[in-house]
């Protein structure tokens, strides 16, 4: 048997993606946001009745998801730069040849090693 959420999904997916794409200019972001909105709808609607306007509810939730992601990404660069400044001033990993506090040699060679990625294989 087909659930009401599945019927709404089949009927409204394209429209919801189109509306969010027009808002954001990013098809991938729009598809992700609509998918997240449908996932929220399935959980919410399973516990109770559908809203009076399921299409409007989905589009509103998807638009909010997309805008939240855009806002988060817009702040990301500034937060990364702030983190780099903090880490540059207070490096939690000891440097080779000494600890960050004393400058003298470390008693354990493992304490001075830093992780480096393995070379990429082709």
What pLDDT sits at residue 46? 83
Higher pLDDT, 46 or 26: 26
Q: Using one digit for the tens of pLDDT, what is the confidence trace for 44-89? A: 888 888 889 999 999 999 999 999 999 988 888 877 778 788 877 6
Question: What is this structure's pTM?
Answer: 0.61
State the average pLDDT over residues 28-48.
91
Q: Using one digit for the tens of pLDDT, what is the confidence trace for 97-114? A: 555 555 444 454 554 555
Distance CA 29, CA 25 (A): 9
Q: Which residues of 18-50 are buried (b: 16+ CB within 10 A; e: fewer)?
A: ebbbebbeeeebbbbbbbbbbeebeeebeeeee
What pLDDT sits at residue 4? 79
Higher pLDDT, 118 or 11: 11
Does the pLDDT value for residue 20 go beyond 90?
A: yes
Architecture of the domain made up of 4-89: Orthogonal Bundle (1.10)
Residue 67: CB atoms within 10 A of its CB come to 15
Q: Which residues of 69-98 are buried (b: 16+ CB within 10 A; e: fewer)?
A: bbeeeeeeeeeeeeeeeeeeeeeeebeeee
Residue 1 pLDDT level (bands cut at 50, 70, 90): very low
Does the pLDDT value for residue 117 go beyond 80?
A: no
């Amino acid at each position: 048997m087909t659930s009401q959420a599945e019927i709404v999904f089949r009927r409204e997916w394209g429209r919801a993606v189109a509306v969010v794409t027009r808002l954001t200019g990013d098809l991938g972001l729009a598809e992700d946001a609509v998918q997240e909105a449908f996932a929220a709808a399935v959980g919410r609607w399973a516990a109770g009745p559908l809203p009076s306007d399921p299409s409007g509810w989905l589009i509103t939730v998807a638009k909010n998801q997309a805008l939240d992601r855009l806002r988060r990404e817009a702040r990301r660069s500034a937060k990364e730069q702030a983190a780099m400044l903090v880490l540059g001033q207070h490096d939690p990993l000891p440097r080779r040849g000494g600890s960050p506090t004393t400058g003298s040699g470390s008693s354990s060679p493992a304490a001075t090693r830093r992780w480096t990625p393995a070379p990429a294989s082709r």
